[in-house]
Amino acid sequence: MDSLIAAAARALAAGDPLGALKRVALRDDAPALALRGIAMAQLGDLARAKALLKSAARAFGPKEAIARARCAVAEAEIALVSRDLSWPVKALDAARATLEAHGDRVNAAHARNLEIRRLLLLGRLDEAERKIAELDPAPLPAASRAVHELAVAGIAIRRLQTKAARTALARAGRAAREADIPALTAEVESASLVMNTAAARLIARGEERLLLLEEVEALLASGAFVVDACRHAVRDAGTLVSLATRPVLFALARALGEA
């Protein structure tokens, strides 16, 4: 790896895409194309980033399996940011296996985190939890640990486990500050806002008030009879009945509940 490529890679790792582009913007060799693609992704030009990464993957030779795997992981991240959930998951899994086999634990862990984030978007929490349990974040660099903790917090938030979510977000914040990447710190702060923003509206006894996630968790654990207009279900202490496929029946239950 020549000095300009190494310097550009360090700039990207520090969240400085413009600094990376200054070093490789005029180069068309495979490593430079890959770094340019990642830089454009960080700057938000996802279409250009995707094209550059595809060019880089083609330019790397058949013996450069690690480099091609890293390109596949970067492409998967762009697809995830674009909410293109049809991107071939098998390609990401194969890239992760290649990276693990060659000892690139950092990028393999990043691939695993992308898999988990995709599962979260699809609402497949059990699968996401199983995959996150397979990953030990301790030996990873700070940026990777922060992303891992964001995934842990995402699962906890969706399961209404607010104490676990706050703990994971605190760990993510410490790791993001250690990494000193402004975009990552901003992502953690944005995720943390969910915990302090109204998440539901409670209508009871003719009055309405907004609830934080912690209050929603406490309400559902209280044993009260709840007509849940978010999940289209009715529940009490020991029973949950989904009416998601019975819209007329749910509308009747809601009307009776509000009355």
Model confidence pLDDT, tens digit, residues 134-154:
888 888 889 889 999 999 999
Q: Do 15 and 56 have their domain in common? A: yes
Task: End-to-end CA distance of the chain: give it in Å, rounded.
Answer: 71
Residue 17 burial (10 A CB sphere; 0-12, 13-18, 19+): buried
Using pLDDT thresholds of 50, 70 and 90, give the confidence band for residue 3. confident
DSSP letters spanning 56-119? HHHHS-TT-HHHHHHHHHHHHHHHHHTT-TTS-HHHHHHHHHHHHHTT-HHHHHHHHHHHHHHH
How many domains is the chain built from?
Answer: 2
Q: Do 233 and 105 have their domain in common? A: no
Q: Do 50 and 93 have their domain in common? A: yes
Q: Which domain holds residue 239?
A: 200-258
Q: Do 184 and 206 have their domain in common? A: no
Q: Do 12 and 98 have their domain in common? A: yes
Q: What is the pLDDT of residues 47-86, one digit of tens each?
A: 999 999 999 999 998 889 999 999 999 999 999 888 888 8
Q: What is the pLDDT of residues 145-196, one digit of tens each?
A: 999 999 999 999 999 999 999 999 999 999 999 988 888 899 999 999 999 9
Say how far apart CA 170 and CA 166 lie, in whole Å: 6
In this structure, the dihedral spanned by the alpha carbons of residues 36, 42, 43 and 48, taken in order and rounded to 10 degrees, is 50
Measured over all CA atoms, what is the biggest interatomic distance in the chain, rounded to whole angstroms? 72
Q: What is the pLDDT of residues 213-257, one digit of tens each?
A: 999 999 988 888 999 998 899 998 888 999 999 999 999 999 988
Q: Where are the alpha helices (DSSP H) in the chain?
A: 3-13, 17-24, 30-42, 46-59, 65-81, 89-101, 105-121, 125-133, 142-158, 162-179, 182-193, 213-221, 247-258
Q: Do 212 and 232 have their domain in common? A: yes
Q: What is the pLDDT of residues 5-15, one digit of tens each?
A: 999 989 888 88
Q: What is the structure's pLDDT at 1? A: 56
Q: Do 29 and 129 have their domain in common? A: yes
Q: Do 147 and 51 have their domain in common? A: yes
Q: Do 188 and 230 have their domain in common? A: no
Backbone angles phi, psi at 144, to 5 degrees: -65, -35
Q: What is the pTM of this model?
A: 0.80
| CATH number of the domain to which 153 belongs | 1.25.40.10
Q: What is the structure's pLDDT at 81? A: 86
Q: Do 161 and 230 have their domain in common? A: no
Q: Is the dihedral of CA 163, 164, 165, 167 positive or negative?
A: positive
Mean pLDDT of the chain: 90
Q: What is the structure's pLDDT at 136? A: 86
**Domain end position, chosen among 196, 216, 250:** 196
Q: What is the structure's pLDDT at 7? A: 92
Using pLDDT thresholds of 50, 70 and 90, give the confidence band for residue 22. very high
Locate 214 and state its tokens: 């912690």
Using pLDDT thresholds of 50, 70 and 90, give the confidence band for residue 258. confident
**Domain end position, chosen among 171, 196, 221:** 196
Q: Do 187 and 221 have their domain in common? A: no
Q: Do 159 and 242 have their domain in common? A: no
**Domain end position, chosen among 143, 169, 196:** 196
